[in-house]
Amino acid sequence: MQSAAVRVEQVAQMTSSIEALSKEHSPSLIVLCGDMNEVPGEQALATLIQGPLFFQRLTKSTAEGTCVKNDGSGESEDLDHIFAVAPGTDVDLSLDSVPAPVRSEVSDHSMVAVHSIQVRAKGASGSDRGAADSGTQGDTPPIGAAGVLTS
């Protein structure tokens, strides 16, 4: 596995490329997903949620993890992540639904499936995110949604 310093530099290069593409194409939503080789809270992932793009981490740590550790222990860890940002806006992004990771014999990584990404104005039903995403009466409707699937 690469050092943290190398991963931080890779994130800086990736962020720079995303910024350039964003200026060229003006997307309303950017979704970044995949095997980041870091668990939540480590340095390279932390730089994604800081400026200049301010990605929001949409996946949360799960007891199941998304990847079997390669140390022979059989334990799992969260190395597969989904981040998103709506450039130039001040919105909350959340996942509509995330089923438990699906294990496979083909890879040590589980498939992480997402139905849709909800985009809501900041503070809209933000104090009760669970109710806002459950379809209960009185919800602020999403501004938009995008589908994504990663493994």
Quick: pLDDT tens for 57-113.
887 766 666 777 777 787 778 887 888 898 888 888 887 766 666 777 777 777 766
Q: What amino acid occupies position 44?
A: A
Note the pLDDT of residue 117: 82
List, in sequence order, every residue forming a beta bridge with 144; answer none if it has no partner: 119
What would the two tokens of residue 113 be? 């499936």
Note the pLDDT of residue 90: 84
User: How far is it, in rounded angstroms, from Cα 82 to Cα 140?
Assistant: 23
State the pairing for strand pair 30-35/56-57: unpaired
Query: Which pTM value belongs to this model?
Result: 0.69
Express as a percent the part of the chain with pLDDT over 90.
7
Q: How many CB atoms lie within 10 A of CB 109?
A: 19
**Residue 128 carries which DSSP code?**
G
Note the pLDDT of residue 95: 78
Q: Are 57 and 42 in contact (CB under 8 A)?
A: no
Counting Cβ atoms within 10 Å, is residue 118 exposed (0-12), middle (13-18) or buried (19+)? buried
